[in-house]
Structures are given as C-alpha cells and as structure tokens.
Amino acid sequence: MKSKIQHKMFQEIRNKEIFKQSHQYSFEYLENIFDRNVYPTEEAVKNLSIFNEKLPTDSTNAKSVIEQLNKYGSPATTATLGGRYFGFVTGSAIPVGLAAKNLGTYWDQAPAMKVLSPIGSKLESVVEKWLVDLFSLPQNTSAGFVSGTSTANLCGLAAARYRILQRNNWDINEKGLRNSPKIRIVTGKQSHSTVLKAIGILGLGTENIEWVNVDNQGRIIPDLIPELDENTILILQAGNVNSGAFDNFEIICKKANKANAWIHIDGAFGLWAEAVNELKYLTKGIGNATSWAVDGHKTLNTPYDCGIILCSDQEAMTSALHMAGSYIIESTERDGMFYTPEMSRRARIIELWSIMKYLGKNGIDEMILTMNRRAKQFAEEIEKIEGFHVENDIVFNQVIVKCDSDKITKQVLSNIQMLRECWLGGSMWLGKKVMRVSICSWATTENDISKSVKSFKKALKLANR
C-alpha cells in the first residue's frame, strides 16, 4: 500500500503536468533572454523576499511551487546566457547542451562506478580521449570530471603532492603531512586565487610559495624562475584572469622537465586556445606539463557546472583521490570516482559530450575564434572614445579598460551596471582600478559589442556631469 506522499508523487509522474509547465516556462525564458536587461531590476531583486518563509508543515501543491519559481525567480536571474554579459569569465550555454542537460536531469545519473551509470562511464571514457586529442596532450593522460577549475586545481595539486612525497618514501595517505618532506611551490605573482585556495586546503601553506615576478601582461618572466628540483610544483597559467595572457610554456616547461619538477597549468578558460588553429601559438608546449585544469562552462559554453582535471600521471591522480569500501563494485572499465574527490556527483559528462559531438573540431575552433574577434572589436571601438584606455594586448578574450582616473573608472563601472545594457566587473591592474571585459559567450554578436560600447560612452557622460 502506498503512503499518501508516495501516491501524490506517483500522480505527478503520471500526469506530467508540472514537467510540461516547467518546459513552457523554460521556453519563454529562452525566447526573451537575448533582449532583456542583463542584470535584474531592483524590483525583481526586491520581490525575492517572497521566498522568506518558514518551511511548510504539510506538503504543498507542485504546480504552485513551479509557478512561484518562475514568477519571482526568472526575473531575478542574471542573463549570462545572452550576448552582453562580460563578468567573471562566465560563458553562456550552447542550446544542445541545455537540451542534453535537461535529458540528463531526468536520467539522474551518478557515474561514480560503471555499475551506477554505464552511459556515464562510457561517455567519460570517450570524452577523455577527445580532450587528450584536442589539447595535444600525452596519450596516457587521464581526465576527471569535476564541478569547476577550483576543484580541478585542487585535484592536480593533490596528485603533485602525492607524487613528490612518494618519491621521498612518504605515503601522504597513511602518514599525513606532519614531519613530511618539504614541497616547494613556485608560481607567478598573478596566480589565480583558486590556486592559492587549493594550496591552503592541501596544507602546503601559501607562506611557502616562491613568488616569481611577472611582466606588464601578467606572464611569468622565465629568467626569474628559481632553480627547480624534483620536490617542486611549478604552477603556470593559460589565460591571465585580467589580461588573458599566457605564460611561455615552451621555454618554462623545458627548464622544469630537466629538473623533474611537477608542472601544473591552470587553464580555466585559456587552455581552449589549443583547439583553435589561429590561437594555438599561445599554448605551445603545454603538452610538456604534468597536469592541467580547465572549465567547460567557460570558453566551451557548457551549462553549469563543468570542470576537468587532466593528468599524465594516472597513478598519482588515482592515489591522491583514492576511494575504498567493501561495498564498492569496481569494473574492468572506467569508475569515475577514482578520478575525482566526490563519489556522489551528477553526470555532467552528458552535456559535455553532447556539445563536443555537436560542434566538432571545426565548430569549436570557429566559436572560440569568434570570441577572440569580438574582444578585438570591443578594444578597437572603445579606444575611439576619448576618455577610455585599453590596458592589455588582446590575445584571447579579455579586455582591460580604464578611464583617466580611478575615481572616474569606478563611477563609470557603477553607471554601466546601473544601465543594465551589459554587465561587467572591476579589478586592479598595475596599481590602477580597471574594468574587466570578458567575452566568452557563443551568442555575442558584433551588434552586442557596439551596443555595449555605446553603454560605456553613456556611462562616461553620466560620470562627467
């Protein structure tokens, strides 16, 4: 005999009304996404107070739950799917990826073990090979599919920690870090905050970092890198978060390989340059590193969330992220839990496979190169307006813009955000306040760029009143 709540939920499955309702709201959202304000209105944000309620005592009506989400939630979203969101290197989502994710949501797969999700295991194996080929990495490279580059960096550095300590006859999994041999960490002064976070979580200590000076684009200066050894983790960057600049991997990796140092590349959005014929000069030499972290939900425009850790030392990777239990059923093929920190995780591989299959190599090349061209267009148009200055070389998708003073830059940024025609954030660059424009949406058109530049012009005019 079914319980009352069981009966209710079986009925929801059978009549499918809430699913049809959700789909209709989703279609309406997509139809308007390219024309609406990039950031929600003050009224929409204020109306979110409707969610300030106590947890209901009794089960509520499913239709009303979905209606409330749509009525008050949809207007309060940021239009990251559109073509004029330039903040935080946030990509859009390719249509086939949204559709695949929707299907995957109904499948509700957790590919920790093949026995849990044969389709998840198969797609992870296939995409692993595709990525190794696309990024020109060593054939023995393994991939773990995580939530983002924050976690991917953590995994890569955990593998590095394991291998270096293992070389010193120290098993980190058994002995921990107390009294362990010293691990050196060398990285540039503009290393991303997620790298520092990973170093802290892993107990390696940010105070132990040997910082290397960078040039005026944020690239490590190769000649200033200290002598390396096999106890060193060298962390490089494919795509500076402000300027988009790339370290000189060819020269630096050659030096590090001679010393047998572990080389980790933080390539959250920039590693994808390797997939573009006109841009792969930026990533020359990345195949000589040991581990690589990259996002799908940035440059490739997969739906959130999608991060990837790639590592040519499979033993170090699986040992660092080891999993054990009498209940675990290992297969002779791929069990995803050995390549990620999590056991319970959604099968984000579904939309990643779908997008790569849909675009193919040429489509990926074309999409990313278009982002680069839109970034160059933005720089060219904004520099024609007196009072704006582009502060970086446009090599990938990032544009750094400032005004004649920090005060004006700050006010202009605030005005742009208030106007809501486009959205971007601020940063500091070479000691000055700047506006950071990140072009990483498949949907950004030439018209989107021109419209956004006009918003900059209007915002400057308001600031000078």
Q: Give every CB contact of residue 352 below 8 A, 6+ residues apart in sequence.
A: 97, 123, 127, 145, 296, 300, 302, 306
Tokens of 253: 């990796």
Handedness of CA 82, 84, 86, 88 (dihedral sign): negative
CA-nearest of 374, 303, 370 to 80 is: 303
pLDDT in tens, 35-89: 999 999 999 999 999 999 999 999 999 999 999 999 999 999 999 999 999 999 9
The partner residues of 188 in beta bridges, in order of sequence, read 212
Answer for the pair 84, 422: CB distance below 8 angstroms, yes or no.
yes
* pLDDT of amino acid 465: 83
Q: Is the pTM of this model over 0.85?
A: yes
Name the average pLDDT for the chain: 96
- Report d(CA 363, CA 357) in Å as an integer: 10
pLDDT band, very low/low/confident/very high, at 326 (cuts 50, 70, 90): low
Tell me, what's the pLDDT at 49?
A: 98
- The answer regarding whether domain 100-356 maps to CATH 3.40.640.10 reads yes
How far from 394 is each of 85, 268, 443, CA to CA, in Å? 18, 18, 20
Domain-by-domain residue ranges, the chain?
4-79, 100-356
Helix/strand/coil for 432: strand
Q: Which residue matches tokens 């850790």?
A: 309
Q: What pLDDT was estimated at residue 212? A: 98
Share of the chain above pLDDT 90, in %: 95
pLDDT at 2: 83
